[in-house]
Structure 1
Amino acid sequence: MKNVLFLITCASLLAGCHSSSDRQAETSMRSYGCTSCHTIPGVAGAHSYVGPPLDRFGNRTYIAGILPNNPQNLSYWLQHPQSVHPGSAMPEMHLTQQDADRIAAYLERLH
């Protein structure tokens, strides 16, 4: 019985843990200010409605109503939103390729 309780406790603790890549993506989203405009599941303090909420992003068909939703397009959008959709409220944040890819991978996992 003691072993069962130990295993249940460990499983519940691990369920709340984020992977290293998730933590890096969260750090990037905070440093670029994504949390100032978007509600982002799994990111503490990201509860803003200036931009659209990013829940279930991986289920979306299009990015900004223009680009088919896939990791490459999302990474490009994150780096160059004004070239994709001039006049969009999404500002140019000058993300590095690595940060854009990291954030894109995080958002694509949201279902």
Structure 2
Amino acid sequence: MALASAGCDSAHPAIASSDAREAIAAMSSLGCGTCHSIPGVTGADGKVGPSLEHIGSQVYIAGMLPNSPTNLQHWILHPQEVVPGNVMPDIPMSDTSAGKIAAYLETLR
């Protein structure tokens, strides 16, 4: 039940609860928590990449892109295009999934 309600509380008002659940499920199935610590995603306690706890309030993504929903979605889909050779792989996913993940991450302030 924790997974179903994660991301649906008042701390994440900017994203619909069904979209939050879909974003959390996508991040879980894609293995994002293997490298990142992500609030609301069970088992997401990775130490390879940065914690995403306050990603929504960060000024830049990967030290390169101004933080916006569009840029965050682009980074999620194409990190190797943005910063070639960085450790985040390009992970195949739909634009819709990437958009929902970006929207969820934007709420993490």
Say which of 64, 67, 87 aligns to 1:66.
Answer: 64
- The structure with the largest helix share of the pair is 1
Partner deviation per Cα, 1:8-57 (whole Å, 9 max, x = no partner): xxxxxxx8772111110011001111011110011111111111100011
RMSD after superposition: 1.5
TM-score (norm 1): 0.83
* Number of residue equivalences: 97
Equivalent residue in structure 1 for 2:34, among 33, 36, 45: 36
- Mapped pair 1:26 → 2:24: yes
Q: Which residue of 2 aligns with 1:46?
A: 44
Change (3 A) 1:54 1:16: closer
CA distance in 1, matches of 2:80, 2:95: 16
Inter-partner Cα distance in structure 2 for 1:45 and 1:33: 10
User: Highest relative contact order (Cα 8 Å, sep 6+), 1 or 2?
Assistant: 2
The structure-2 alpha-carbon separation of the partners of 1:41 and 1:83, relative to structure 1 and needing over 3 Å to count, comes to: same
TM-score when scaled to structure 2? 0.84
Partner of 1:84: 82
Greater C-alpha radius of gyration: 1
Moved over 4 A (4+): none
Aligned partners of 1:78 and 1:95 also within 8 Å: no
Q: Percent identity?
A: 49
Give the match for residue 12 of structure 2.
none
